[in-house]
Chains A and B, each alone.
Chain A
Amino acid sequence: MKTFEQLYFQAIDGTLDEADRAAFEAAMAQRGINPSEIARERAFSQLLIREARRPTLRHADFFSSSVMERIRREAARDGAQAVSRSRGFQWSRLPAWARLAWGGAASLAMAVALTLALRPHDHAGSQRLTTRIFSLHEFAAGMSATAISSPVSHYAVVWTDGIEYIPAETRIQ
């Protein structure tokens, strides 16, 4: 079922077929539109076609060269980006197995790093020194000693509390 506007423009365009003509004439009569209106509509279209201004593109070649210059710049930039993308590492371009392998390797590396970072310090040296200090003196309730050593930096620090002195003949190694 065609709308009145469809029939109206078919009539103006001269493409109204016989089957639709009767329906259109009935619709025109119902709306109180004179059939001569169609001829005036056609004339109105002709007036617009004939008399309306058509802005002309001046400096058309400059227009084109300006557009093409912009496109060339973009194409060159896109090309450069594509080259840099193709040279660089791109996670999304890796196949699934490679992404899995990379992910596994990265997880393992992190686990190793965490283990090393959180590993308790080796206080064996400190324990040994403390033991030696204690072995040289009788235990007293008010005595305490703390020692740390660094085999890498070759130093040892001993804190004592309750000991008045360490005998001169004692060497701490």
Chain B
Amino acid sequence: MSGDDAIQLQSGRESAGTHPSCDMQGATADQALEARLVRQSLEGDLDAFGRLVALHRSRVFSMLVQIVRNEEDAWDIAQEGFVKAWRALHTFKGDSAFFTWLFRIMRNLAIDHLRKRERRAETRLDEAYPGEAAGASPAASPAKHTDSPDERAWQSEIASRIDKALGELSDEHREVIVLRELHGLDYNEIASVMGCSVGTVMSRLFYARKKLQNLLRDLYENL
């Protein structure tokens, strides 16, 4: 595998603001590349695993921040998750996408983290989550960079409202919204990541959306 392949794929995955479901072209080629990198990693090629990390780090981090709502925690979980993935790589059978398998590991760590944090009764997530100030950015299209300051302020306000509303959802509801609505995983992938049936995923998503719509009623009703 050439380094260029990985860089091309990396740039596709790492570009912020694109919905993954829009990035399905070349999925088969991506999977073939991933399969090759996984095989090389299993043979002890650390550089190949490094390329897998580079391919998925941004998406993993983004999803983790949205689930645990704290960037430092998400960083630590992602680090731990990649090390754990390296150790468990021999258990990856290729019957699901590598990202799905990888994110299942990350998700389990995130859930453990959330449970520990609940037990410690830490500060509410949305208070700790630094949001845009710490580097988060609205999933804006390139055209948005030309928006007027008023429009940008309004978009920032909407993004803050969505953040706050996500923080008020239960962990399970927030997780399913993040995976489906913000990152475009399909229902089977979400079921695999969350370790439940597709029916349960849809049921959770249905109620999570209703809750979110209630929290964002004023925005939602102006749609």
Asked if B35 CB lies within 8 Å of chain A CBs, one says: no
Known A9-B205, A47-B223, A55-B66; judge A60-B58 contact (CB<8 A). yes
Asked if B50 CB lies within 8 Å of chain A CBs, one says: yes
Asked if B33 CB lies within 8 Å of chain A CBs, one says: no
Inter-chain contact B135/A58, CB cutoff 8 Å: yes
Inter-chain contact B139/A43, CB cutoff 8 Å: no
Inter-chain contact A56/B62, CB cutoff 8 Å: yes
Q: Which residues of B contact A (CB under 8 A)?
A: 14, 16-17, 19, 44, 46, 49-50, 53-54, 57-58, 61-62, 65-66, 71, 74-75, 78-79, 82-83, 86-87, 131-132, 134-141, 155, 158-159, 162-163, 166, 177, 181-182, 184, 187, 198-199, 202-203, 205-206, 209, 212-213, 219-220, 223
Asked if A50 CB lies within 8 Å of chain B CBs, one says: yes
Known A52-B139, A71-B86; judge A64-B223 contact (CB<8 A). no
Inter-chain contact B223/A44, CB cutoff 8 Å: yes
| Residues of the B chain whose Cβ atoms lie less than 8 Å from the Cβ of A138 | none
Give the docked Cα–Cα distance between A8 and B132 (Å).
33
Inter-chain contact B162/A64, CB cutoff 8 Å: no
List 26 A-B residue pairs with CB atoms under 8 Å apart, sorted by A's residue number. Answer: A3-B202, A5-B199, A47-B223, A49-B139, A50-B138, A50-B139, A51-B138, A51-B155, A53-B132, A53-B139, A55-B61, A55-B65, A55-B66, A55-B136, A57-B57, A57-B61, A60-B54, A60-B58, A67-B57, A67-B79, A67-B82, A67-B83, A68-B50, A71-B86, A72-B46, A75-B46
Q: Which of B74, B87, B199, B209 contacts A74 (CB 8 A)?
A: B87
Asked if A6 CB lies within 8 Å of chain B CBs, one says: yes
Inter-chain contact A8/B57, CB cutoff 8 Å: no
Inter-chain contact A71/B209, CB cutoff 8 Å: no
Q: Which of B75, B140, B220 contacts A44 (CB 8 A)?
A: B220
Which 8 A-B residue pairs are closest in the complex by CB-CB distance? A55-B65, A5-B202, A53-B136, A57-B61, A55-B136, A43-B223, A67-B82, A48-B181
Known A9-B202, A63-B57, A64-B53; judge A52-B162 contact (CB<8 A). yes
Give the docked Cα–Cα distance between A6 and B206 (Å).
9
Of B44, B53, B66, B212, which is in contact with the most chain A CB atoms at under 10 Å from its CB?
B53
Q: Which of A40, A48, A50, A75 contacts B177 (CB 8 A)?
A: A48
Inter-chain contact B159/A53, CB cutoff 8 Å: yes
The chain B residue with its CB closest to the CB of A40 is B223
Asked if A41 CB lies within 8 Å of chain B CBs, one says: yes
Interface size on A, residues (CB 8 A): 33
Q: Which of A9, A40, A48 contacts B182 (CB 8 A)?
A: A48
| Residues of the B chain whose Cβ atoms lie less than 8 Å from the Cβ of A99 | none
Nearest chain A CB to B25 CB, angstrom units: 18
Asked if A45 CB lies within 8 Å of chain B CBs, one says: yes
Asked if A154 CB lies within 8 Å of chain B CBs, one says: no
Inter-chain contact A57/B58, CB cutoff 8 Å: yes
Asked if A66 CB lies within 8 Å of chain B CBs, one says: yes
| Residues of the B chain whose Cβ atoms lie less than 8 Å from the Cβ of A47 | 158, 162, 219-220, 223
Nearest chain B CB to A63 CB, angstrom units: 6
Give the docked Cα–Cα distance between A74 and B65 (Å).
26
Nearest chain A CB to B84 CB, angstrom units: 10
Inter-chain contact B181/A49, CB cutoff 8 Å: yes
The chain B residue with its CB closest to the CB of A46 is B223
Task: List residues of A (1-26) whose CB comes within 8 Å of B's CBs.
Answer: 3, 5-6, 8-9
